[in-house]
Chain A
Amino acid sequence: MLQVNDLHVTVEGKEILKGLSLTINAGEVHAIMGPNGAGKSTLSAVIAGKDGYEVTQGSITFEGQDVLEMEIEERAQAGMLLGFQYPVEIPGVKNIYLLKSALNAIRQARGEGEMPASEFMKLVKEKLGFMKMDPSFLQRAVNEGFSGGEKKRNEILQMLVLEPKLAMLDEIDSGLDIDAMKVVADGVNSLRGQDRSILLVTHYQRLLDYIVPDKVHVLVNGRIVKTGDAELAKELEANGYEALIGESAA
């Protein structure tokens, strides 16, 4: 589904990713772990199309399409969605407007018509219930005045409504207490499916107790230094990154 090949990315002249390669097949859940500053967030930001990241070498393809040639919205329309570590507050834009315009844009790109209002409301209310969010959220401005946990839930709510093929979640566990983490993890797990993939970027192993990945990659200094299964995350938790960095340097 997603293929990243020898990706080099610089930000303000500094090389952050130094030849990263990664393949995610349909139905797989991958976790990228690594110490601060390793470039974890850079990868998802580049895939989503954020300004300020210069790809100097390598390629990213999604279902055979050249991602780097696509507009930001085209990437989302094709099925790649990024859940932010720090969701942006958008004063005055009601959640309901965001959800409806996003869903319609994505449906339109797929050649489907607008979803009828009643069906849309039914869908949204069901997903709200799943995320244990009050319907009043719909009339509130996107993330404005939300607590950290509410913002993260709202990111997952958008995913549930928009049903991406590839959900990328950047540090979705940061700032969550244990109850909120469970709700968020349940939301993410419900996104799993044969044709859908998930890329988790996380600093801590904790999240992976709830969302068990098929593959774990360790990103250090702009490169993936080790790949394994869920057990690898537990090893990291026990021994720390230092041990691994030492090992890979050796």
Chain B
Amino acid sequence: MSDTATFLETLKARSQARGAEPTWMAARRQAGAARFDALGFPTRRDEEWKYTDVRAIAQGNFALADDADFSPAKAATLTLPLDAHRLTFVDGIFASALSDLEGLPQGVQLAPLSRALADNHEAVGGPLGRLTGVEFSPFSALNMAFVEEGAVIRIAPGTVVEKPLILQFLSRAQEQAVMAHPRVLIEAGSRSEATVIEHFCGEREARNFTNVASEVILERGAILSHYKLQEAPQGDFHIASIHVEQARDSRYTSYNLNLGGALVRNDLISDLNGQGAETHFYGLFFGQDRQHVDNHTKVNHNAPLTFSNENYKGILDDRAVGVFNGRVYVKKDSQKIEGFQSNQNLLLSDRAQINAKPELEIYADDVKCSHGTTTGQLDAEAIYALRTRGIDEATARGLLTLAFAGEVLEEVALDAIAERVELAVAGKLPERFNLAGLVETASALHD
């Protein structure tokens, strides 16, 4: 049986077991299945997947989870220490006991997709799949075919949400690997302000497959900070897309922080459709062992007077492979736009690899755009200066690696996340220069 057929078999069995659905949902699911069947998994012959081989996913054997059992004590060790409203999913299934929906303020909807569908399926049917359709990629088609759970977030116009809204996705270590295809819908009403965090983490030995698609709509003047903290277990496969549609004067900020996963692919796309819309992409990825982390970003300046700024940093050790493909597109006659992009990569080992490809595509003449990518090693003069203070070379290298990550982390507005990532980077450095203790001291100092 072909790889594609295995997934379609699983899908068929699931469809037979599932109850009645809205007609539109069944139709989209079918379209997803048909599209996936036609395309199959991408191969490296596809330009979009040139550096990323997904055979490990295609040839995997993934069941669908049927419960959301997870020890609350264990979950507590993974959960971000933030006062927040929280939805938790275990292997894709909503875990009510690990969620916190108490005291949601007026004007804020935060609900599992299944519940939102049950309550008012038409309201979900509008946005679901509008930005990330089945054509986007074989994985978006697969997501549409399988989707049952996820999150719906709606912020009413003018609402300012104080606490972050967290979507926590836990991956379990079990004999049978599983897959999850969550869909996240975020609608930020005009002049609303909110912070949403997608947090992926789990049990160390897990080796599951997550295929998540997020669709984000910012209405006029909306402000959204969108964090993605990907700390998936080192054996997990993680495919994700975030599509953002921005109306006039809206401001979107993405923090895409990737530390985990065996094979990771992120697609982040922002459509700046109204004048005055701005988007900021901050990214940090750290790969070691044989981790593979692929980041594709795209900013579409579809309207004049739009602004984008992107800063992605990659750190690769051992035999890890990183991909950065960042594209800035300026539509015909979208004048007076500004688009800046920077990608810097640090290779800590001779066998680590980065494939960096910045792309500019401009069809207007009055624009200010720049892009640049650098790949290098650590600054020899700084290593020397640290060694003259008694710090051994390995620790000096560790400190400078943390520093490299710090340039993105200092943009992270939520201290709890910046510190968590800093600690993770410090702890991920090879044992001999593990700086975790140091970072803890420094954060304690802060208080």
Interface residues of chain A, those whose CB is within 8 Å of chain B, are 48-51, 71-73, 75-77, 81-82, 84, 87-88, 90-94, 96-98, 100-102, 105-106, 109, 117, 120-121, 138-139, 141-142, 158, 162
Decide if B388 touches A48 in the complex (CB within 8 Å).
Answer: yes
A161 → B minimal CB distance (Å): 10
Q: Does B413 contact A (CB under 8 A)?
A: no
Residues of A within 8 Å of B392, CB to CB, are: 71, 73, 105
Within 8 A of A (CB), among B420-435: 435
Which residue of chain A is the closest to B385 with respect to CB atoms?
A88
B384 within 8 A of A: yes
What's the minimum C-beta distance from A46 to chain B, rounded to whole angstroms? 12
CB closest residue in chain B, given A116: B441
CA–CA, A101 to B439, complex, Å?
11
18 extra interface residue pairs, beta carbon distance < 8 Å, beyond A81-B390, A94-B442, A139-B442: A48-B388, A49-B387, A51-B384, A72-B387, A73-B393, A76-B391, A87-B385, A92-B407, A93-B402, A97-B442, A98-B389, A100-B438, A101-B391, A101-B438, A105-B391, A105-B392, A120-B441, A158-B389
The distance from the CB of B389 to the nearest CB of chain A, in whole angstroms, is: 4
In contact, B402 and A72 (Cβ under 8 angstroms):
no
The reply to whether the CB of B118 lies closer than 8 angstroms to some CB of chain A is no
Which chain B residues lie closer than 8 Å to A97 at the CB level?
399, 402, 435, 438-439, 442
Any A CB within 8 A of the CB of B445? yes
Enumerate the 10 nearest inter-chain pairs by beta-carbon distance, A residue then B residue, closest first: A92-B403, A76-B390, A102-B389, A92-B406, A72-B387, A88-B385, A105-B390, A106-B390, A93-B403, A73-B387
Q: At the interface, yes or no: B404 with Cβ under 8 Å from chain A?
A: yes
Instruction: Decide yes or no whether B381 CB sits under 8 A from chain A.
Output: yes
Contact of A138 among B382, B438, B445 (CB under 8 A): B445
Q: Which of B387, B400, B406, B446 neighbours the largest number of chain A CB atoms within 10 Å of its CB?
A: B387
Query: How far does the alpha carbon of A121 sit from the alpha carbon of B443 in the complex, in Å?
Result: 12
Residues on the B chain within 8 Å of A98, using CB: 386, 389, 391, 399
How many chain B residues touch A (Cβ–Cβ < 8 Å)? 30
Contact partner of B390 (CB less than 8 A), chosen from A51, A90, A102, A142, is A102
Residues of A contacting B379 with CB < 8 Å?
90
Q: Which residue of A lies closest to B406 (CB)?
A: A92
The A-contacting residues of B in range 367-412, CB under 8 angstroms, are 379, 381-382, 384-393, 395, 399-400, 402-407
**A82, closest chain B residue (CB):** B388
Among A50, A72, A101, A117, point to the contact of B399 (Cβ < 8 A). Answer: A101
How far is A96 from B435 in the complex, measured between Cα atoms in Å?
A: 13
How close is B13's CB to chain A, nearest CB, in angstroms? 51
A-B contact pairs, 25 of them (CB 8 A): A72-B384, A73-B387, A73-B390, A73-B392, A77-B390, A81-B389, A88-B382, A88-B385, A90-B385, A91-B403, A91-B407, A92-B400, A92-B403, A92-B405, A96-B441, A97-B438, A97-B439, A100-B441, A101-B386, A120-B441, A139-B442, A141-B403, A141-B406, A158-B389, A162-B390
Contact status A84-B390, CB under 8 Å? no
- In the complex, which residue of chain B has the Cβ closest to the Cβ of A144? B403
Question: Is the pair B388, A81 in contact by a Cβ cutoff of 8 Å?
Answer: yes
Q: Distance in Å from the Cβ of B379 to the closest Cβ of chain A?
A: 8
* A residues in contact with B439, CB < 8 Å: 97
* Contact yes or no, B389 A93, CB < 8 A: no
Cβ distance B392 to chain A, nearest Cβ, rounded Å: 5
Q: How far is the CB of A174 from chain B (nearest CB, A)?
A: 18
B1 within 8 A of A: no
CB distance from A148 to the nearest CB of B (A): 17
B20 at the interface (CB under 8 A from A): no
Known: A93-B402, A97-B399, A97-B442. A88 touches B389 (CB 8 A): no
Chain A's closest residue to B399 (CB) is A93
Q: How far is the CA of A157 from the CA of B10 in the complex (A)?
A: 65
B20 CB to closest chain A CB (Å) equals 56
Q: How far is the CA of A249 from the CA of B280 in the complex (A)?
A: 67
By a CB distance below 8 angstroms, the chain A residues around B445 are: 96, 117, 121, 138
* Nearest CB on A from B404, distance (A): 6
Which of B388, B403, B441, B442 is in CB contact (< 8 Å) with A72? B388
> Shortest Cβ distance from A175 into chain B, in angstroms?
18
Q: Residue of B at shortest CB range from A87?
A: B385
Contact of A76 among B389, B393, B400, B406 (CB under 8 A): B389
In the complex, what's the smallest C-beta–C-beta distance from B447 to chain A, in angstroms?
Answer: 12
Contact A84 B385 (CB under 8 A): yes
Chain A, residue nearest B398 (CB): A101
C-alpha spacing A173/B445, complex, angstroms: 32
In the assembled complex, B76 has its CB within 8 A of some CB on chain A = no
